[in-house]
Structure 1
Amino acid sequence: MADHAARTHLATHEVTNQPLLGGDHDLLAEDIALRETLAREAPAWVATRLAPLAREAGRDTWQAIADEANRHPPELRLFDRHGRRLDEVHYTEAYHRLMHLACDGGWQAVAWEHEGNGGHQAHIAALYLLTQVEPGFCCPITMTHAAYPVLRHDNAILETWGPRLRANDYDPRALPANAKRAATFGMAMTEKQGGSDVRRNTTHATRQPDGSVRLTGHKWFCSAPMSDAFLTLAQDDAGLGCFLVPRFRPDGERNGIQLQRLKDKCGNRANASAEIEYADAWAHPIGEPGRGVATILEMVQQTRLDAATAPAGMMRQATLEAWRHVQGREAFGRRLADQPLMRRVIADLALETEASLALCLRTARAFDGATNDDHERALARLLPALAKFWHNKRSSAFMAEAMECLGGIGYVEEAPLARLYREAPVNSIWEGSGNVMCLDVMRVLARHPESIAALRQELALARGAHPDFDRALEVLERRLKATPDVLEAQARWLTQRLAQCLQAALLLRHAPAAVGETFCAARLGEEASPLFGVLPSHAPLDAILERIAP
């Protein structure tokens, strides 16, 4: 019996030809493109402030924490044991640790602490790093950040909520605002019958003698339903208005925000999304009556840039996973990292990552400059829609390609690529799907000619740097002269090409020639392909791959 037991525990094989797992990394020190872009676009204090976050976020333990937050998603708790309504969302401790990672550093508020002086660039760079830890929890960080410009429409609201939004702290407890130092914000706009067409919303606002409002209606998607307050849209006598709905009424009682269910989503598992019912919910009007869409668009512009940045962070994480794997794995007698086809795929992923990061941080600089510069203000109106559309259209195919670089290991849940693949579509849907982004671009072109003029100026700065770029600009200019109905029909091509041309211009002007010229040939040239890994035969792969990580 003893011999039999010994035999059953004998190892049947050795584990060889597998890359080493884990290890701590400095997400700023190891990201050449991020360091270069920050040095170019942002004040020096931004990189200095980001450095501790980059070291902490690169610790290997955070990947285990992120995995736990996804494996044990939020739970809805409607009632306490005595039958009183709670309408609360319960999270694992892993989720709360992720929230502390962001909020304790003030990354949800840094844009407003340093507005006009790199604040938006700091926020976007931090989001790019935090996404590499776990994309899901970044939703409430984005919402809290983006709520601030809407709060400034009302001094009383700003006085109450502003300091709590800006606090370098995170407090998940369900308590009235006056009992908390820090607060988070959510958003609830979407209804079943309208979706992106929010003017069809039916949630109704009834004015009270004291100036407050009571809301009655249903919201199909409520982002971050555990938040301390929500910005929402509802109809009243003046039309569609914007309202702030706190979790607790001014008298300290729970507000009439009833959580109907949590969405069972394809990805984004660590974050909760809910259907909610406003049951005579106390609310405070914010902004001009009947101008709710215009008011909340100030928030949406912010969230759209964040939704353009998340895929850039995910691309960076996926590229690193793929590159480290192929460096430690052999097939057919050679390291995968030395094989020509694999090198082309990884290099192409690296190009896309650099281009996306460059566009995100250039857009963030436009946000920072919009307060006192007409050119930057014009760019800030257009660039978020371009970046959000294109980065997210590339993201799903990107994650699939990176997953394939790992083979079967990439498809299992132990690898972060499976999680990233499921996460990829959500930022394309949030804050306006692809068609909505394209229609927004068309509206900007029609109503704000200064925005397309500003973009032309940016593109002209790289004219003459590469023949494929110059030819792409010529075609673009011809297409822009089309009639409005033809422009709308071609809106997807136009939005894609505007984004790609600006990415190319940024890389031609600021990245090494190996990056900028190869990007132009692969994205704008006659042999451009929708597939990753189709690069010119003469592409300087070594120079591109060396930039992925030291």
Structure 2
Amino acid sequence: MAGLPEDPAAGTGTEARTPLPGRSRFHGHEVANQPAPEGDRDLFLGDPALAGMAAAMGGDCVHLAARGAALGRADLRALGRAAMRNPPELRLFDAGGRRLDEVIFHPAYHRLMAEGIGAGYAALPWEGAAGGHVSHAALVYLHSQVEPGSCCPMTMSYAAVPALMAEPRLAAAWRPMLLSRRYDPAVAPLAAKHGATLGMAMTERQGGSDLGATATRARRDGDDYRLDGHKWFCSAPMSDGFLTLAEAPGGLTCFLVPRWLDGARNGIAIERLKDKLGNRANASAEIVFQDALAHRLGDEGAGLRRILTMVHHTRLDTAMAPAGLMRAALTAAHHWVSHRRAFQRRLIDQPLMAAVLADLVLDHEAALALGLRAARAFDAGEAPFARLAVALAKFLNNKRCPPLVAEAMEVMGGMGYVEDTDLPWLYREAPLNGIWEGSGNVICLDVLRTLAREPAALAAVEAELDAVRGADRRHDAALEAHRARWPGPPPEAEARWFVESLAT
């Protein structure tokens, strides 16, 4: 594959072999009551909740079963850990001092990107098959269990497709490359590549979530523009282009900034990479636009509306990823308690531990169901329902994820705190999706704006809740309590309580 670093295991057959187990006896020392490392596992068929919900909501279960088997292989899971433990490096200059502004990734990261893009992570919803968004959401869930950092550029590439439709000329050039199912990390202009990815650069130092405070400026250059300014967070800086916001003569405007030009590098300088708590395999950068060529997406002054088209789709993924992290933590905890013994019984056979695991299962399956239902709304053209459901799922799933991961870590005791297990990286990853694409307060304020501007959105969610009245008295009681407290939109100070109550 063009531009893909050579895989040292390729062609050796080692990826298909079961590694020899470690020795349990050595110099009189015996290892006992320690669960053996898991080998290959099936992330789809071994997850009855996913298999059942994906089928019920119209997902491509044949494809998902193949991906679940592939991503559950021990060798691919090991690649995920290798990518996390070998974070990307910034290469600013060549040997002669010429500016490069490149990010170098570990071969394991490239392999995982090739796996995801080849499986249609970014392409499935736009290829015309039924259930495309449900299948995509399930792929996010599966891939997040192995290595969530590589999800970031694939998610943004998926979400950029509807935003591109504002400019048919740009869509004609970029859409086929985003949907090619070919990963091509080569430093080359679009016309010379087999496939492409798109990133996003919105946040500035002074603005944060307040995109209206954007200081980057755009000036006309013929049919295109030139950008000057900075971005405090640029996700996946080695993408082939970025969607960004800048102040044009007509107001805040959305632009596509290509990374590479014909025979030249665009005016994008990387200042440094962020040293992040988690998501270590993925690069996040501070960048500067210096006379950077940019293509306008939509009308001048309509930048927020255009970029929110992309954000609406990325938020679906930030609702599904925590469900995947929850599943990975639950899987690790379940493996531990199924093989670990204390007081002459397996941990899982002890009533209090079984109750803890059951509680974790309920939270995980609720998160999975909420995310997949939001995805189905995209497939079914239920735009008003999707508008609100995605926000509800993102908020609630990300509030539940960190405490669930922490509880799973506690289930494993001291071993859950050791880097040889998955729980430490899951613990570091758990808060991320609650921040990315809008923190909890931002999401709740967006919900209030949706209630004010799109009454049909709340009506659609209420109709879904009413449709199952009578099936469970606890549901009926909760719904009645919610409506009694908030017969109309809540005051801003109660927005979080309102959103949590409605989502639950």
Confirm or deny a common fold (TM above 0.5).
yes
Give me the whole-angstrom Cα distance separating, in 2, the residues matched to 1:470 and 1:487: 24
> What letter matches 2:205 in structure 1?
K
Q: Does residue 1:214 correspond to 2:226, yes or no?
A: yes
Give me the whole-angstrom Cα distance separating, in 1, the residues matched to 2:187 and 2:409: 40
CA displacement at 1:469 relative to structure 2: 1.4
2:491 — aligned with what? Answer: 487
> What letter matches 1:42 in structure 2?
G
2:245 — aligned with what? Answer: 233
1:345 — aligned with what? Answer: 356
1:150 — aligned with what? Answer: 163
1:56 to 64, 70, 75: 70
2:161 counterpart SS class: helix
2:394–2:434 CA contact under 8 A, matched in 1: yes
1:257–1:276 CA contact under 8 A, matched in 2: yes
CA displacement at 1:10 relative to structure 2: 6.3
What per-residue deviation string (whole Å, max 9, x for no partner) do you get for residues 383-428 of structure 1? 1111111100111111100011111111111111110100011100
2:290 — aligned with what? Answer: 279
1:416 — aligned with what? Answer: 422
More displaced 10-residue stretch of structure 1: 486-495 or 180-189: 486-495
CA displacement at 1:257 relative to structure 2: 0.6
Give me the whole-angstrom Cα distance separating, in 2, the residues matched to 1:461 and 1:319: 31
Normalised by the size of structure 1, how large is the TM-score? 0.86
1:282 counterpart SS class: strand
1:230 counterpart SS class: strand
1:431 to 437, 445, 452: 437
Q: Does residue 1:470 correspond to 2:476, yes or no?
A: yes
Give me the whole-angstrom Cα distance separating, in 1, the residues matched to 2:295 and 2:257: 7
> What letter matches 1:97 in structure 2?
R
1:238–1:289 CA contact under 8 A, matched in 2: yes
2:491 counterpart SS class: helix
Give me the whole-angstrom Cα distance separating, in 1, the residues matched to 2:472 and 2:176: 49
2:341 to 306, 310, 330: 330
1:39 — aligned with what? Answer: 55
Give me the whole-angstrom Cα distance separating, in 2, the residues matched to 1:479 and 1:199: 34
1:391 — aligned with what? Answer: 397
1:170 counterpart SS class: coil
> What letter matches 2:383 in structure 1?
R
2:264 counterpart SS class: coil
2:19 — aligned with what? Answer: none
What per-residue deviation string (whole Å, max 9, x for no partner) do you get for residues 187-243 of structure 1? 0000011101000000000111x2110000010000111100000000011110000
What is the aligned-residue RMSD (CA, Å)? 1.3
Q: Does residue 1:365 correspond to 2:376, yes or no?
A: yes
1:79 — aligned with what? Answer: 93
> What letter matches 1:295 in structure 2?
R
1:326–1:337 CA contact under 8 A, matched in 2: yes
Q: Does residue 1:245 correspond to 2:249, yes or no?
A: no
2:90 counterpart SS class: strand
CA displacement at 1:309 relative to structure 2: 0.3
Percent identity (aligned):
54
1:21 to 16, 37, 51: 37
Give me the whole-angstrom Cα distance separating, in 1, the residues matched to 2:37 and 2:139: 25
Q: Does residue 1:120 correspond to 2:133, yes or no?
A: yes
> What letter matches 1:307 in structure 2?
T
Give me the whole-angstrom Cα distance separating, in 1, the residues matched to 2:128 and 2:331: 31
> What letter matches 1:129 in structure 2?
L
* TM alignment of 1:134-145, pairs within 5 A: 134-145=147-158
1:205 counterpart SS class: strand
1:480–1:487 CA contact under 8 A, matched in 2: no
Give me the whole-angstrom Cα distance separating, in 1, the residues matched to 2:28 and 2:356: 35
* TM alignment of 1:259-338, pairs within 5 A: 259-338=270-349
What per-residue deviation string (whole Å, max 9, x for no partner) do you get for residues 295-326 of structure 1? 01110000001001000011111111101110
2:84–2:147 CA contact under 8 A, matched in 1: no
CA displacement at 1:12 relative to structure 2: 5.4
What per-residue deviation string (whole Å, max 9, x for no partner) do you get for residues 466-525 of structure 1? 22211111111122225x6x521111111111111xxxxxxxxxxxxxxxxxxxxxxxxx
Gaps of 5+ in 1: 1-8, 371-375, 501-550
* TM alignment of 1:526-537, pairs within 5 A: none
Give me the whole-angstrom Cα distance separating, in 1, the residues matched to 2:27 and 2:466: 65
Give me the whole-angstrom Cα distance separating, in 2, the residues matched to 1:354 and 1:473: 20
CA displacement at 1:48 relative to structure 2: 1.4
Normalised by the size of structure 2, how large is the TM-score? 0.93
Q: Does residue 1:454 correspond to 2:460, yes or no?
A: yes
Give me the whole-angstrom Cα distance separating, in 1, the residues matched to 2:112 and 2:353: 34
> What letter matches 1:408 in structure 2?
G
2:82 to 68, 73, 76: 68
Give me the whole-angstrom Cα distance separating, in 2, the residues matched to 1:114 and 1:131: 25
Count of aligned pairs between the two proteins = 480
Give me the whole-angstrom Cα distance separating, in 2, the residues matched to 1:265 and 1:158: 33
Q: 1:465 to 1:148 in 2, by over 3 A?
A: same
Gaps of 5+ in 2: 1-24
> What letter matches 1:49 in structure 2?
H
2:145 — aligned with what? Answer: 132
1:181 counterpart SS class: coil
CA displacement at 1:365 relative to structure 2: 0.7
2:388–2:447 CA contact under 8 A, matched in 1: yes
> What letter matches 1:297 in structure 2?
L
